[in-house]
Chains A and B, each alone.
Chain A
């Protein structure tokens, strides 16, 4: 199948993304947004879902890759497929529900029928249809790879292997998974869906921003008075032993663990029904498992669309140049006592209700501010010069803007030298 038609001259990204500042246009220009949907989202490995969401043959889930409608399915042989959710006849979106189970995907328009691995198996009334080889009319396939249950896919014509693309990010990825008993992590049914009137990269700029919590989340840090959260988040965040890391391919890590030696549960505010559930675990001798009810305190961001925060997977979905949808999926711990997941449900509501609204408001304020054409630049120089280790990783205090600089440099590379994309 043919590659996407790429117009190479959208903008001079060497000019727009400089080491210490970036231009407002990358957040406001619709032509740049349109190019990003192919050069960033189609050409990079993107997270599409978790294997636990489609346990049985025929199970499927729909999602997007940039703006492209995508279908993740489990076929009869147990394989996971990622397909373009687009009928090979005239383009109709095949599956409209967010998830389901289907032995066959029958197009609602003229009845072409596909297997869960995308093979065309039937065209109704075929006698007057000249097609001889149905295999030329399969659903478009994406290159697909999984890392410990996490399914990634790309339309890149020649992608680097997933392991290479993850690179140093694997260390944090493993920490997040391995804390679950048996290394077993699952993703629960329906995500919280929050939209903001701003560019998708604003959520990316924020994901490893260790300075904003002191200001934007001031109300969260002081809310309630029973637990001493304030000392962690409200004192000079640059002087804490927490570490930020800017990795290859735009990935980012914020490791808060060194700043919370007493463990994450000790900093958790009193969520609804905490006491009875906590008591049950303590009585069962499982006190040490309580940390599982909170996040790993290692925030990992895999560019361009997956951010681990708390026990949630924050999937960044671009909608328009000034519109973004955040999909917040909650992970569960199937190998742990049920109280852990019951606590997780209430724990992860906490920040979404009393912290995330601040972030959403900041994103919308920034987007409005960036509409001012006479003020062109966004400063990103905090923490310069970068301290680059031999493996290329840049480590710094959590107030350093090195993660933003590095992901944007990676982004500029993708936008400057677009990779060919194709459906298989």
Chain B
């Protein structure tokens, strides 16, 4: 759509930064889609890097299972994305997801998890994550890892187990989470209240 400058209403931001912004969104989505679709063909992982990454992933699982969500949130970069697609062929800009959070919505999610009137998580789910098969490689922006995770959930009078795999992009010396993609095959057939997934 092209509109003469005089017709542009409102005080909206202008200039090239704003014009380029949707391209930045699409570029971030493309990164996510490539991480997901490019995972299966990767070569044998680096053993030392994998051991280092395994410690970071175990730490994350421990924080989540303990309900230490604020601490977990501290471990993300400002340009964080947590993506839970509905299939391993999904694209974040073309397909519905269960969720795709930036840092702001991650913070809201933690606020929601701690709200005593958020009935979907009150009483909260008790989870146990079993992380396995950790593989890590050097990537363009940091360490790329793939691991499997079995998430066991108890809540009210119910119990469910979801097997999944997760892809992380861990950046900097302290391996902060820049990207996490959680692929849960059961989402393609139906899951009860998945609001415990992180």
- Chain B CB within 8 A of A271 CB: yes
Q: In the complex, how many residue pairs between chain A and chain B have their CB atoms under 8 Å apart? A: 156
- Chain A CB within 8 A of B43 CB: no
- Chain A CB within 8 A of B90 CB: yes
- Chain B CB within 8 A of A325 CB: yes
Type the 1/0 row for B77-91, where 1 means its CB is closer than 8 Å to any CB of A: 000010000110010
Q: Are A283 and B18 in contact (CB under 8 A)?
A: yes
Q: Given that A279-B13, A279-B21, A357-B119 are known contacts, is A285 also in contact with B7, CB under 8 Å in the complex?
A: yes
Q: Are A360 and B12 in contact (CB under 8 A)?
A: no
A317's nearest neighbour on chain B, judged by CB, is: B190
- Chain B CB within 8 A of A10 CB: no
Q: Are B22 and A196 in contact (CB under 8 A)?
A: no
For residue B86, give the distance in angstroms from its CB to the closest CB of chain A: 5
Q: Given that A193-B190, A276-B24 are known contacts, is A287 also in contact with B108, CB under 8 Å in the complex?
A: no
Q: Are A270 and B121 in contact (CB under 8 A)?
A: no
Q: Which of B8, B94, B118, B190 has a CB less than 8 Å from the CB of A282?
A: B8
B9's nearest neighbour on chain A, judged by CB, is: A287
Q: Given that A188-B95, A349-B97 are known contacts, is A284 also in contact with B108, CB under 8 Å in the complex?
A: no
- Chain B CB within 8 A of A164 CB: no
Residues in A whose Cβ lies below 8 Å from that of B156: 364
Q: Which of A193, A223, A287, A353 has a CB less than 8 Å from the CB of B187?
A: A193
Q: Are A283 and B8 in contact (CB under 8 A)?
A: yes
Q: Give the distance in Å from the alpha carbon of A361 to the alpha carbon of B13 in the complex.
A: 42
Residues in A whose Cβ lies below 8 Å from that of B189: 193
For residue B157, give the distance in angstroms from its CB to the closest CB of chain A: 8
Within 8 A of B (CB), among A357-373: 357-358, 360-362, 364, 368
Q: Give the distance in Å from the alpha carbon of A282 to the alpha carbon of B13 in the complex.
A: 8
Interface residues on A, range: 35 or more
Q: Given that A189-B95, A190-B96 are known contacts, is A342 also in contact with B25, CB under 8 Å in the complex?
A: yes
- Chain B CB within 8 A of A241 CB: no
Q: Give the distance in Å from the alpha carbon of A325 to the alpha carbon of B158 in the complex.
A: 17
Q: Give the distance in Å from the alpha carbon of A196 to the alpha carbon of B158 in the complex.
A: 11
- Chain B CB within 8 A of A134 CB: no
For residue B39, give the distance in angstroms from its CB to the closest CB of chain A: 19
| Overall SS of chain A's interface | helix
Residues in A whose Cβ lies below 8 Å from that of B112: 219, 223, 354
For residue B167, give the distance in angstroms from its CB to the closest CB of chain A: 18
- Chain A CB within 8 A of B130 CB: no
A196's nearest neighbour on chain B, judged by CB, is: B192
Q: Are A219 and B8 in contact (CB under 8 A)?
A: no
- Chain B CB within 8 A of A6 CB: no
The stretch of B48-56, B99-107, B136-144, B175-183 in contact with A is: B99-107
Residues in B whose Cβ lies below 8 Å from that of A195: 190-192
Q: Given that A190-B90, A194-B193, A358-B118 are known contacts, is A280 also in contact with B108, CB under 8 Å in the complex?
A: no
Question: Could you list 14 examples of A-B contacts with CB < 8 Å?
Answer: A190-B90, A193-B187, A193-B190, A196-B193, A219-B115, A219-B117, A276-B22, A279-B18, A282-B9, A287-B9, A342-B25, A346-B100, A358-B120, A360-B192
Q: Which 6 residue pairs of A and B lie closest in terms of their CB atoms, listed nearest first?
A: A357-B120, A276-B21, A282-B12, A285-B3, A219-B118, A272-B102
A interface residues (Cβ-Cβ under 8 A, vs B): 188-197, 216, 218-219, 222-224, 270-273, 275-280, 282-287, 325, 328-330, 337-339, 342, 345-346, 348-349, 352-354, 356-358, 360-362, 364, 368
B interface residues (Cβ-Cβ under 8 A, vs A): 1-3, 7-10, 12-14, 18-19, 21-22, 24-25, 28, 81, 86-87, 90, 92-102, 104-105, 108-109, 111-112, 115, 117-121, 156-158, 187-195
